[in-house]
Structure 1
């Protein structure tokens, strides 16, 4: 099957959306599909206000339409709601090309945190944008519930994975500070709530890995912490392996791929009991969720690293990509193109079904806790 993925999030950004799309493309190609990505690298761009590393494509409408026509995909997937996503959506509607979309990040919550715009306003835009899609792919059952609560009723589950060969329970000691070492990895921005971690009274030392608009102010306010910039995956794997607890202070993430990376590296997690940690950790003993983040950090020190690694092994990119592909299959027939050949009913596809059922079961009691934060 020929699959075109349109995304406003791409290199040089380093975030969960970009990692998800790269991993999904890799797995789709390994399955024998032809995949092209339409990204801002093909267009003139300007920096996004307050997020300069995010590039916004200028007047991409005609070029996007030409690319879609030239590639003639069997399946069109629009990954983001930015200028490229808008242009692809407009062309698809005018040309009666069916498409799917994705909801990767809790955009309304981010906008509210940064600008004070009410959640209902931004969800109204999302309902308009995603309304014509054949399916809206979201990473967790709790996020599916959020979307449906705001009128987006055709949302489906597309879980996430982790590269278990890169992130391993290796021996490393690249963080030469006092133990226990508490680690945060991710974007350093107000919506990530990093200050909640840095303000904690904890023994040992703290490390922050990543970049973002809040980094300079946090370094000035918390000079006792240690800071690293953006790292490659092999470098990051060694950092995870050198720490004692991974601290995830965000209350707004839809999933949090860094949670899986940390767990795969044998690093227990401390987090709030909200969407993201609830869906990744579930009822496992691989981390501690508590409204007192300090208490969660201290309790997580008692978790065996083998327990964290074992839980991460439940997630694979192949299983997640099987989910993604299953939502695309109806589009080829609707578009009049060649229908993709069915992959064998092997253990990979069974893993996707098992993981879906597991997530739905694990989050049944946690959904209200996740929603109560917003």
Structure 2
């Protein structure tokens, strides 16, 4: 089957959406499927206001139409609600072509953190985008419930996995700072609520691995934190494995791939009991979810690494790809 994925989040961006699409694409190709990804890298782009690392495609409609007609896919999946996503949606609706979408990012909360826009209005706009889809794919039960409560329809589950060969327990001597080492990995942006971690009064050393629009300001404000910048591949895996606890202060993520990557590395998780961490962690005994993040860190540090690794091994990218495939709606 020829599968086309249209996404506004694609390389060289570094985030969970890009990693998910790229990894699932590879798994689908192992199954014998043909997968084409159309991202902003094929278009002239401009930086997203307040987040210049993300580039938005310009004039997507006409060029995208030509690409879609040339590729002749069997099914279309629209991954994001950006300019490319909207252009693909218009193309499909005009020709009565079925398509699926995914809810990767809580955009209403993202917008609320930057501008005084009511959540009800933002959700109405996002709901309108997804409403014609034959399936709206979501990663977790709590996000599914939250969207249903706001009137979303046709919701289907699409779980996530983790590369347990890359992310595995390793020698912790890679980092030589005073321990325990508490680490955050991910985008450095306002919606990640990173200051809740940075201002914690806890012993040892704090690490932030990642980059984003808030880094310069936060790095000046918290000079005692180790700022490692964006890391990839083996080097990223070494950072994870060298930590003693992974701290995830976000209250707005729909899943949090970094949680699984930390656990696969044998590192316990400390987070708030909110959607995302609750879905991934609740009942696992591989981390601590607490409204008091400091208490969560202290408790997580007592958890054996073996328990974290064992739990992470229950997640599979192959299963994620199979679930994605079952949700698609072929039209040819």
Q: Is the 8 A contact 1:80 1:102 kept in 2?
A: yes
Residue 113 in structure 1 maps to residue 113 in structure 2: yes
Give 3-state SS (helix, strand or coil) of 1:173's partner.
helix
Structure 1 runs not aligned, ≥5 long: 338-374
Residue 37 of structure 1: SS of its match in structure 2? strand
> Distance in 2 between the 1:35 and 1:221 partners?
44
Per the normalisation by structure 2, the TM-score is 0.99
The match for 2:16 is 16
Partner of 2:208: 208
**Is residue 198–residue 206 contact of structure 1 (8 Å, CA) maintained in 2?**
yes
Q: How is 1:264-303 mapped onto 2 (pairs within 5 angstroms)?
A: 264-303=264-303
Residues 223-232 or 110-119, more deviating: 110-119
Superimposed CA distance per residue, residues 134-171 of structure 1 (whole angstroms, 9 cap, x where no aligned partner) = 00001101001111111112111101111111001122
Distance 1:16 1:116 in 2: 26
Whole-Å separation in 1 of the counterparts to 2:236 and 2:128: 38
Give 3-state SS (helix, strand or coil) of 1:247's partner. Answer: strand
Instruction: State how far apart, in whole Å, the 2-side matches of 1:116 and 1:179 are.
Output: 41
- Specify the alignment match of 1:361 in structure 2: none
Return the alpha-carbon distance in structure 1 between the equivalents of residues 153 and 101 of structure 2: 13
Measured after TM superposition, the shift of residue 96 of structure 1 is: 1.1
Q: CA RMSD in A?
A: 0.8
Q: Is the 8 A contact 1:178 1:205 kept in 2?
A: yes
Q: 1:91, CA displacement in angstroms?
A: 0.4
1:75-111, CA deviations, whole angstroms, 9 ceiling, x for partnerless residues?
A: 1000001111100000000111110000001111111
1:73 aligns with 2:73: yes
Q: Return the TM-score normalized by structure 1.
A: 0.88
Q: Residue 37 of structure 1 corresponds to which residue in structure 2? A: 37
In structure 1, distance between residues paired with 2:130 and 2:319: 25
Deviations 1:174-216 (A, max 9, x none): 2221000000011011110110001000011100111111111
Query: 1:255 touches 1:279 (CA, 8 Å); kept in 2?
Result: yes
What does residue 83 of structure 1 align with?
83
Deviation at 1:173, TM superposition (A): 2.0
Distance between the aligned counterparts of 1:176 and 1:13, measured in 2?
30
Instruction: Give the Cα–Cα distance (whole angstroms) in 1 for the partners of residues 261 and 233 of structure 2.
Output: 9
Distance 2:181 2:126 in 1: 40
Misfit runs of 4+, over 3 Å = none
In 1, the alpha carbon distance for the partners of 2:154 and 2:120 equals: 18
1:248 aligns with 2:248: yes
Indicate the SS of the match to 2:273.
coil
Aligned length: 332
Residue equivalent to 2:222: 222
Partner Cα separation in structure 2 for residue 81 and residue 186 of structure 1:
21
Give the Cα separation in 1 of the matches to 2:114 and 2:267: 31
Tell me what 1:168 maps to.
168
Q: Give the corresponding residue for 1:232.
A: 232
What displacement does 1:172 show?
A: 3.3
Please list, as runs of the form range in 1=range in 2, the aligned pairs for 1:106-185 lying within 5 A after superposition.
Answer: 106-185=106-185
